[in-house]
């Protein structure tokens, strides 16, 4: 494995075990077996490391899936696409929640992290916005009922997935399946899935 990959593995391990707030670049460098100076040759700062861990060391990269859905609107089965989103979101949030949760206990660190993400055009709101765009496109194509609210549907589905991930980290209760979450949402929104 290359130097950057070893650093990412170390960052993922430290962030998962200590949380983002307590993970330092010094500790990540030590865990990787490289100097902190070497770490900065590959990553600008801890935010870059965090984003790289999300993209490259987290299963089911949710933002990429949603970007692909937006690109392929009008193709495939809406229900199947949403089940895939739900399954991926639960897995993604399940992995990332323990890393990111600690940052909320440090207001100054949270503010700095938020600003760093905004400066990079990143942040959790982009996931919700991408799903809402996909649903709005499906609505425009007639796959969603005229009274469906794409933003609310996106928030409801991702919120349910986030709760599943939270509970999965806190209890042994797996909760409803992704299929059940989607079927409930579709029934509530008067949405009819389109078959291919």
The residues, ordered by sequence, that sit 6+ positions from 102 with a Cβ below 8 Å of its Cβ are: 18, 19, 20, 21, 22
Nearest to 117 by CA among 58, 56, 65, 49: 49
Query: Where in the chain are the domains?
Result: 1-57, 60-196
- Name the fold adopted by 60-196: Tetracycline Repressor; domain 2 (1.10.357)
Nearest to 63 by CA among 89, 38, 86: 89
Q: What pTM did the predictor assign?
A: 0.82
C-alpha–C-alpha distance, residues 56 and 196, integer Å = 31
The residues, ordered by sequence, that sit 6+ positions from 175 with a Cβ below 8 Å of its Cβ are: 163, 164, 167, 168
The CATH number that domain 1-57 falls under is 1.10.10.60
pLDDT at res. 188? 62
C-alpha–C-alpha distance, residues 64 and 84, integer Å = 12
Residues of the chain with pLDDT under 50: 191, 195-196
**How confident is the model over 60-106, as pLDDT tens digits?**
777 788 888 877 777 778 999 999 999 999 998 888 888 888 888 88
């Amino acid at each position: 494995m290359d130097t950057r990959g070893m650093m990412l593995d170390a960052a993922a391990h430290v962030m998962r075990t200590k949380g983002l707030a307590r993970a330092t670049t010094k500790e990540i460098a030590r865990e990787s077996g490289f100097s902190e100076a070497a770490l900065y040759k590959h990553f600008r700062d801890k935010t870059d490391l965090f984003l790289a861990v999300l993209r490259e060391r987290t299963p089911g990269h949710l933002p990429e899936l949603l970007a692909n859905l937006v690109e392929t609107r009008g193709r495939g089965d809406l229900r199947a696409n949403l089940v895939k989103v739900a399954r991926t979101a639960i897995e993604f949030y399940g992995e990332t929640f323990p890393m990111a949760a600690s940052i909320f206990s440090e207001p100054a660190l949270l503010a700095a992290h938020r600003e760093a993400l905004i400066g990079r055009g990143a942040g959790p709101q982009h996931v919700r916005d991408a799903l809402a765009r996909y649903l709005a496109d499906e609505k425009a194509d007639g796959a969603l009922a005229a009274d469906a609210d794409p933003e609310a549907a996106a928030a409801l589905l991702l919120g349910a997935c986030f709760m599943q991930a939270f509970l999965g980290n806190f209890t042994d209760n797996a909760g409803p399946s992704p299929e059940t979450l989607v079927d409930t949402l579709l029934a509530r929104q008067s949405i009819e899935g389109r078959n291919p």
